[in-house]
Amino acid sequence: MRHIRHIRHIRLSRHVRHLPRAKTSTQKGIGLIEALLAFLVLSLGMLAMTRVQSDLRAHAELARQRSEATRIAQQDIEALRAYSVLTKPGAGANSFEQIAPASAVVDSIAPTRYELVRQVSPAADGQAASVVVTVRWNDRRGETQHTTLPSVIARSAPALAAALVNAPRGLPTLGAFDRSSHIPLIAKDLGDGRSAFKPASTDSVAIVQDNRSGQVIARCSGLPTALTTEALTLADLTDCDTRSGLLLSGAVHFAQGAPLPFDIALVLTGGAYPQAPQCTTMPIEAGDRRSVYHCVVYPSASEAGVGGWSGSTTLVPIGWRIGATAQDQRVCRYSSDLDGSGAIDRNNEHPAAYSGVDSALAQQNFLVIAGPDNCPADLGTVQHQP
């Protein structure tokens, strides 16, 4: 038995000796260097986030300061435009010459102090001034910042703005070439405060007008028919009727083709007139379907107590007829409600009959169409004849 046990012990010992041994796990800790590196990375991240937050606050504050500086500059410019700061001893409150350079510290609701600097450069023509307003301040880092706004200040005070739409009483409104708007553009300036033009290039008559009022002050005849308006001189104006008159003018457009010959008949009503109207017609140029007419009307002093006239104009055909058949022509009148009153009740709106005309009238135009056609309302015309 002992022998058998010994043999089993030997076999068991050998079996156990050849069995694989179980591995033992070893747990290692974090080293000091690794911990320091991790802390360093965390610290850098925190510093970066702090810097980003600081920059965001700085940019937000700079944007607020820039907006406030822009408001201050705009306020100064608007004050100049309103003429509310143009005060100077010995000068009026609306004196343009009081716009001057300035430099001042501006009070603001923000803790930042702003300095406003205004630079002024008068224009060469004296009608405006170039103004540059600069607002400076120091940001939270102590760096100098600035905002600049340029502008132009007109010479006219805001209180006088209505003068742009209302002509001064007693003073005529001037148009092109510093002359009355009632003077045709083709008229030649004679250099003595008058202008003259030939209403028909092949005629021997010239009309002379005052440059300021536009009133006809003479009607001269006996001129050479070959003499053009551009070549007119004072020496040519010798045989003149110096009665004062008012000019009535317009154009006649022929829709069917070349202009047809016609005269303008102006029938005056409402008083005694010193002389019959003098009218002239002329085609504009070859290939143009329009003719122009000019009438000098000599007003009656008894008309409405002033030098005016009343009446109506008609076309008098020469060699053709006005009617409603296919062989006739119909005359339409260009007419517009310029004042929005709902009616053609003013002389410059080209009514069927004029009343109390006391100034020159231009653009009193007509359209000639085929007799059976209707006057085109979309063109602003109404039937005039028949």
Question: Which tens digit of pLDDT belongs to each residue from 171-210?
Answer: 556 666 778 888 888 888 998 889 999 988 888 899 999 9
- The encoded tokens of residue 237 equal 């104006």
Burial of 217 (0-12, 13-18, 19+ CB in 10 A): middle
Q: Which residues contact 9 (CB under 8 A, 6 or more apart)?
A: none
Q: Report the range of poorest mean pLDDT among 55-64, 169-178, 365-374.
A: 169-178
**pLDDT at position 317 over 90:** yes
The rounded distance, in Å, linking the Cα atoms of 73 and 18 is 98
Q: Report the range of poorest mean pLDDT among 55-59, 91-95, 184-188, 244-248.
A: 91-95
The rounded distance, in Å, linking the Cα atoms of 225 and 4 is 166
Q: What domains, with CATH codes, occur in the chain?
A: 57-86+96-157 (3.10.450), 176-385 (no CATH)
Q: Is beta strand 354-357 parallel, antiparallel or unpaired with respect to 309-317?
A: antiparallel
87 confidence band (pLDDT: 50, 70, 90): very low
pLDDT of residue 88: 41
The predicted model scores a pTM of 0.55
Give me the percent of the chain exceeding a pLDDT of 70. Answer: 76
93 confidence band (pLDDT: 50, 70, 90): very low
pLDDT: is 34 or 107 the higher one? 34
pLDDT of residue 353: 93
352 confidence band (pLDDT: 50, 70, 90): very high
**pLDDT averaged over the chain?**
80
> For the residues 151-179, what does the mean pLDDT come to?
63
The rounded distance, in Å, linking the Cα atoms of 107 and 184 is 59
pLDDT: is 307 or 76 the higher one? 76
pLDDT: is 383 or 61 the higher one? 383
Q: Could you tell me where the DSSP H helices lie in 170-211? A: none
- Three-class SS of residue 230? coil
The sign of the torsion formed by the CA atoms of 243, 246, 251, 252 equals: negative
CA max distance for the chain? 177
**Range among 54-63, 267-276, 300-309 with highest mean pLDDT value:** 267-276
Q: Which residues contact 192 (CB under 8 A, 6 or more apart)?
A: 234
CB 220 within 8 A of CB 238: yes
pLDDT of residue 89: 39
First to last CA, the chain: 161
Closest CA to 207 of 226, 174, 184: 184
pLDDT of residue 328: 94
> For the residues 269-274, what does the mean pLDDT come to?
85
pLDDT: is 105 or 195 the higher one? 195
> For the residues 285-298, what does the mean pLDDT come to?
88
**pLDDT at position 90 over 60:** no
The number of angstroms, rounded, from the C-alpha of 355 to the middle of its chain's C-alpha atoms is 34
Q: Strand (E) positions, 232-308?
A: 239-241, 246-254, 262-269, 278-283, 290-297
